Structure 1
Amino acid sequence: MTSRVAPVPQDIADLSFEDALKKLEEIVEQLEGGNVPLERSIEMYTRGDALRKHCEGLLKSAEAKVEKIVVKDGGAAGTEPLDVD
């Protein structure tokens, strides 16, 4: 059985980490308030999950870039190309 991951919607994929995190925090706040109808809660949860995945992907990419920094003589000497595969 193969698990398929839904692609991140383009409007989310275009967001910076900070903007996506802010939107995710807003969704969490609204859902925790408990004043959202069930159908809307499901929509918000789905969008929140996509925002979470986007943030996670951006963090992993940043982490990979940091790990690629080449340290020479105690200081950063440059970077190597990032292999994102």
Structure 2
Amino acid sequence: MTNSSEDALTKARQAGAPAWPPMPSAEFAAIVGDKPLAQTQLFKLVWDYIKANGCQDPADKREIVAADSLRAVFGQD
């Protein structure tokens, strides 16, 4: 007899969902750390990094001014 968590994992795998959160790339790991992260956690940590390092344009906070570490991840300024 299987428990419900194993059944849920089996259904998720059949649906094409990853079995665990993916590891961040080396460039992302410099910003968010080297532990596996869900997408929601990744976005939160990237925004925390952007705000903590003053990477937002003061005139338009929707615009990001890339630091060197962000430039390595996104490939543009």
Please give the TM-score of this superposition, normalised by the length of structure 2.
0.32
Question: Which structure has greater helix proportion?
Answer: 1
Please give the TM-score of this superposition, normalised by the length of structure 1.
0.30
Task: Choose between structure 1 and 2 for higher RCO, CA contacts under 8 A separated by at least 6 residues.
Answer: 1
Question: Which structure has greater strand proportion?
Answer: 1
